[in-house]
Amino acid sequence: VHCDREGAVNPGKLFWIGQLDNSGGSVFIIYRAVNRNVFCISRSAFEINQWDTNLIPDSSYEEEGVDELDSTRIVGGQFAVPNQFPFMAVVHRLLGNGMTSQCGGTIISSRWVLTAGHCVVSGPKQFLVVFGICNKTGIEYNSYNGPGVAMLTNKAILHPNYQTTLNDIALLYMPRNIPFRASIQPIKLAGYNYVKKSFTGRTGAVIGWGKDGSSGAGTKRLKYAFLPIISNKECSTYWAVTEKHVCTSASYHQDACQGDSGGPLIVFKNNVPLQIGIVSYGDGYCPSNKPGVFTRVVTFIDWIQQVTKLRF
């Protein structure tokens, strides 16, 4: 419902990222209608260029088993809703004896998932990868029972020059085609056209199922948060970053945390999500006053194309 057809108030403005209708936009402001328990959307999409501090809604929204859309942490941020980030994947690593570790990943083609190198670097190379979900309920040790699609794979390709904080990138190859639908879609990668683009001053979104804080457990529900992208010069006062990294400020008490590793940092180009980073490392305390560090995707396009035999 567009706002020009409903009376609307603005008790708590929030952002929706994702296709809502056929208007072609992907980022909208949503308002609560006055006389009905529905949300309406702004008529046209817009580009997010700065952080909006008034992102906490005062009402609940229910859809396909999702409870209220609130401002719980990624650390910091909001819960996602179905189909909002159809490129997201849970990368559930099987360590043996019922033990697992978790990362995020992104679908980049019908067979390939992009993730962080440290998510695959040591230990058993067996992964349960789940697509098309917001809620992780139903994921067991090596099986999944839920509305999404799950695949087991043991084909993980780590960058040959991987180090703990450098070249932190890997690819997972799926045993069969990922079935694309509304809730499962590939993301566009920042390719050669973005080699000289710094993104400094833009606002990025980080997405994942990671911890709510340094002492919290991983969340069952997908979350996202907006973070300002800062220069590598500013970031280098905290971390030994190179041109292969991109950094975000944590000055708004939001951050990626453990379990978000391998997930994306995205911006929007013509209202289309564009992955520019992969969650790599940061302070162990979440949220932190130190920047978050991401693998800069564009610097690895050659390697991604070499491995996948695809063009991005």
Write down the domain spans for the chain: 1-42, 88-186+301-308, 188-299
Q: List the one residue out of 113, 119, 118 whose CA is nearest residue 175.
A: 113
- Across 178-182, 255-259, 284-288, which has the greatest mean pLDDT? 178-182
88-186+301-308 and 188-299 agree in CATH topology: yes
More confident call, 32 vs 175: 175
Residue in 26, 42, 168, 249 annotated catalytic: 168
Phi, then psi, of 56 in degrees rounded to 5 = -105, 110
Q: List the one residue out of 306, 8, 2 whose CA is nearest residue 157.
A: 306
Domain 188-299 superfamily per CATH: Trypsin-like serine proteases (2.40.10.10)
With a CB cutoff of 8 Å and minimum separation 6, the contacts of 158 are: 117, 120, 121, 170
The reply to whether 118 belongs to the active site is: yes
Question: What distance in Å separates the CA atoms of residue 162 and residue 278, rounded to the nearest whole number?
Answer: 14
CA quadruple 270, 273, 278, 282: dihedral sign: positive
CA quadruple 141, 144, 148, 154: dihedral sign: positive
Question: What distance in Å separates the CA atoms of residue 267 and residue 205, rounded to the nearest whole number?
Answer: 7
Kindly indicate the confidence band of residue 220, based on its pLDDT and cuts at 50, 70 and 90. Answer: confident
**Residue whose tokens read 């992955």:** 275
Residue in 118, 183, 255, 280 annotated catalytic: 118
Q: What percentage of the chain exceeds 90 in pLDDT? A: 58
Domain 88-186+301-308 -> CATH class: mainly beta
Phi, then psi, of 274 in degrees rounded to 5 = -130, 125
Q: What percentage of the chain exceeds 70 in pLDDT? A: 68
